[in-house]
Structure 1
Amino acid sequence: MQIQILLLLPMAFLLPPGAQAGKIIGGQVAKPHSRPYMAYLKRKTCEGEATCGGFLVREDFVLTAAHCADGDITVLLGAHNVHQDEETQQRVSVQRKIPHPRYNKTSHENDLMLLQLAEPAELTDAISTIPLPQAGRTVDPGSVCSVAGWGKTKRHAMRTSSKLHEVELEVMSDETCQEDRLLQHYYKPPKMMCVGDPAEDKASFSGDSGGPLVCDRTAQGIVSLGKSDGSPPRVFTKVSAYIPWIKKTMRGSQRPRVPR
């Protein structure tokens, strides 16, 4: 019984990643449209409206977190202020949600999902794709990467931010998360990244869920889970571990060409 309690106890301190709108902690407002791959996901669920982030990896595909699958999703591309009608914005419905077939809601493993858009995005200066890493490629601990999202900028704020915020975060060693008493039961090095220096008050949070961790202009991670108080480190899905699945899934969803 003691073992069971110890295994279950951390759940009380882990925030279910999609449960609330999230925030960038310790960051700043991003330069408008400086991250043209960013996608804002507006979800209508039985509990109301919720948001997630995502990123455009092909004209007709957005990559995000699997825990963002609940509800009817509308994708907003080319946005800086999501509460304004900007000329750069394109609003697209989702044709198909494709969560990873081995996504586990309890362990948070394989927390990624492809969204096939109902129609391809029109690429512009404000809307473009972001490269994915090579399969199996890892990011060295100590590397400084960045993450962005729309959401609360203070832990106890009542409302999410209308403008895109960004923050630079350090990639930590696997041991940093493996030795964290609240994360150690969930952290799987082959499939996850440990991000955010525990000594700094900078982090992503739920609702930033699904957004990309960008290292050298490449999407290396996906915001996945962390502790309910918003403190670093946080756990990101390691994109390079899933490149074969991502490519195979998108190839299998090629749109038929219309004969001329």
Structure 2
Amino acid sequence: MEIIGGKEVAMHSRPYMALIQKKDGLLCGGTLIKAKWVLTSARCYDKKLTVVLGAHSLSKPEKVKQTFTVKQLFPHSCFDNETGVNDLMLLELNITAQVNKFVSMLKLPKQFKDIETKTQCTVAGWGTTNAKNKVASDVLMEVNITVIDRRTCNEKYYHLNPVITDGMLCAGDKRGKKNSCKEDAGGPLICNNEFKAVTSFPPKSDCGKNPGIYTLLTPKHIQWIQEITGGDA
């Protein structure tokens, strides 16, 4: 997904952000949740993934970057590519990340109240910054977006295809000028300073026009994460 209408993130201010690179050059985002585990979108699946932690720029070498291959991929067993339900995947890194001020974990939610309509949230990524421009951003970008009522999102933007379920979140900008899009998939959605959802899939049309869809982190999702990674997440 791309960041539309956003701004450059202060360098290394999001040390939990993971840059995921596919073998075809396409990008995804992710979140370091344990020193050897990254949470992302199941849509980012690829047989050969590279994970970079501590990154700000794509092109600059940056001594603080840590690069990994993926030992194992764990797409959610109930992920449905058509409906977008359970759009989550865990990546086990080949070695343990060195945690420091440039690379650190983001805590998973412990409270699971639904996110209220009109709540301001933030999403970040390295995707293109213009819906018509397919070139990835060289630096990490972020944008503030607003949660939209599911019924409104279903009727006005998606017309029940896909259906925005209780396990999803719809968020964007009523003026159609702020959003995430394709190459930001897998990155975290932060609401009220807490990790609440994972960027799922983009609108079927202009990313700047329609809101994005996010996978809410529910108690069942946290249980799945714990089962895969071992112990508390």
| TM-score of the pair, normalised by structure 1 | 0.83
2:153, 2:164 within 8 Å by CA — same for their partners in 1? no
| 1:115 counterpart SS class | strand
Runs of 4+ in 1 over 4 A off after TM superposition: none
Task: Give how far 1:28 is off.
Answer: 0.7
| Range that drifts further, 59-68 or 176-185 | 176-185
C-alpha distance in structure 1 between counterparts of 2:93 and 2:134, whole Å: 31
Residue 239 (structure 1) aligned with residue 217 (structure 2): yes
Aligned residues: CA RMSD: 1.8
Number of corresponding residues: 230
**Residue of structure 2 in register with 1:32 after alignment:** 11
Aligned residues of 1:64 and 1:210 also touching (Cα < 8 A): yes
The reply to whether residue 60 of structure 1 matches residue 36 of structure 2 is yes
1:193-216 per-residue CA deviation (whole Å, 9 max, x = no partner) reads 011133341000001000110123
Q: Is the contact made by 2:38 and 2:91 (CA closer than 8 Å) also made in structure 1?
A: yes
SS across alignment from 1:198: coil
2:151 is matched with: 175
Match of 1:216 in 2: 192
- Are 2:106 and 1:130 aligned? yes
**CA distance in structure 2 between the aligned counterparts of 1:177 and 1:134, rounded to whole angstroms:** 27
Q: After the TM superposition, which of the residue ranges 185-194 and 112-121 deviates more from structure 2?
A: 185-194
Secondary structure at the aligned position of 1:106 is classed as coil
Q: Whole-Å Cα distance in 2 between the matches of residues 71 and 29 of structure 1?
A: 31
Amino acid at match of 2:128: K
Change in Cα spacing, 1:135 to 1:100, as seen in structure 2 (3 Å) is farther
8 Å contact from structure 1 (residues 65, 223) kept in 2: yes
Q: Which has the larger radius of gyration?
A: 1
The alpha carbon displacement at 1:49 in A equals: 1.9
- Listed as ranges, the matches of 1:66-215 within 5 Å are 66-134=42-110, 136-182=112-158, 184-215=160-191
Unaligned runs of 5+ in 1: 1-21, 255-260
Distance 1:160 1:142, change over 3 A: same
Deviation at 1:183, TM superposition (A): 5.0
Supply the distance in 2 between the matched residues of 1:200 and 1:88 (Cα, whole angstroms): 36
Determine which of 208, 229, 237 is the counterpart of 2:206: 229
Take 1:30 and 1:232, find their aligned partners in 2: how far apart are those partners?
A: 23
Output the CA distance in 1 between the equivalents of 2:215 and 2:115: 12
Inter-partner Cα distance in structure 2 for 1:234 and 1:159: 19
Map Cα deviations across residues 106-156 of structure 1 (whole Å, 9 max, x no partner): 211111000011111111111111111126332221211100000211112
Contact 2:164 2:170 in 1 (8 A): no
Q: Give the secondary structure class of the aligned counterpart of 1:129.
A: coil
Q: Which amino acid aligns with 2:18?
A: A
